[in-house]
Amino acid sequence: MTAPLNSSDPITVNVGLGDRAYDIVIGRNVLPSLGARIKALRPGVRTAIVTDKTVARHWLKATEESLAAADIPTSHIAVEEGEGSKSYAGLETVSEALIAAKIERSDLVIALGGGVVGDLAGFTASILRRGVDFVQVPTSLLAQVDSSVGGKTGINSPQGKNLIGAFHQPVLVVADTAVLDTLSPRQFRAGYAEVAKYGVLGDAAFFTWLETNHADIMRGGSAREHAIATSCRAKAGVVSRDERENGERALLNLGHTFGHALEAVTGFSDRLYHGEGVSIGMVLAAEFSAQLGMIAPDDAVRVARHLADAGLPTRLQDIAGFRQEGLADADRLMALMAQDKKVKRGKLTFILLQAIGQAVIANDVDPATVRDFLHRKLSN
């Protein structure tokens, strides 16, 4: 594992997609450079910022000042924080605001926020006037290492997570690690689940490094930039090889089949953040892999122990109110997993493990085996 890079030096990771390639700029206090970077990329452009009300209080002024310093006109729309905005109603609100702001096809939408804002703003941009380009300015750890990179955009349906959406790549990602200082510890930990995911699914050495350095990442030391850059490089490589998830990119969904069902069953609420669902989902995937004889039980224990050490939930019973509200229902979870985007002709697809650092796509997993596994986990 390479040593962490100096946190004062911005790191640029390129997502290689031919004439649609773009850079991810990572570093502390790179937000003030946003306007200059956009001006160099698109001279004469107009912009509109989509953000949420919490992020707006912290970072909207700095973003607008950066754009103003580069003589870039802008407007903004602030939605409510949380998954509730990633809905049909949220899509209508943002679409109408962008139309009212006279954003044209040659202009740019700027997504200033976490995964919800990035997904919502990106999807709106993809359908506005049949396609407007956008820039990601992710303000959560989860967004910086995962959702801002790769072009997946969308909204939720009452029937499942991200069931309405489009692939729409950004033209630039500016990830300022200083903005992470305003996150609550719980929000930061939820994002860390996606960092750990890259080690679990494809980089055993990185996972081992995380076991030693996760505390420095939490504190905001030099390990933080290194972890974010390593995660972005991993995702950029996969996206460049499989942009539309026809093969390898599905591996990035490790923990998500279980996790998305848990988010749905808890109403896409702050009772379970996305990263928390992914954490529990990764542990379930590791334990299910061990049950199938694919990995050693000690490896599943190791995954669970690291996530728990990082302060993340690792069991179904860790979800607040899960039993009290009658949500501990394996059949209900199975029904929600049947709506997952990775289902093909009604057959369940899971991302499972052959080793730490070696995930595989498992097609046509026997639903009865999964149901029995969930019954056992719910009875623990």
Query: Annotated catalytic sites, by residue?
Result: 130, 152, 194, 235, 245, 249, 253, 256, 260, 274
Q: Are 280 and 315 in contact (CB under 8 A)?
A: yes
Burial profile 213-248: b = 16 or more Cβ within 10 angstroms, e = fewer: bbeebbebebbbbbbbbbbbbbbbebbeebbebeee
Q: Residue 167's closest CA among 198, 138, 127, 110?
A: 127
Token pair in block for residue 102 = 């006279």
- Find all residues with CB under 8 Å of 247, minimum gap 6, and list them: 361
Q: Residue 201's closest CA among 278, 141, 138, 277?
A: 278
Phi and psi based region of residue 243 (left: phi greater than 0; alpha: psi -120 to 50; beta: remaining) = alpha
Q: Are 109 and 157 in contact (CB under 8 A)?
A: no
What count of other Cβ atoms lies within 10 Å of the Cβ of residue 331?
A: 10
Alpha-carbon distance 90 to 99, whole Å?
14
Q: Classify burial at 298, counting beta carbons within 10 Å of its beta carbon; exposed 0-12, middle 13-18, buried 19 or more.
A: exposed
Token pair in block for residue 125 = 């941009």
- Find all residues with CB under 8 Å of 322, minimum gap 6, and list them: 266, 316, 328
Give the ranges where 180-329 is alpha helix by DSSP (H). 185-202, 204-219, 222-241, 256-265, 274-291, 297-309
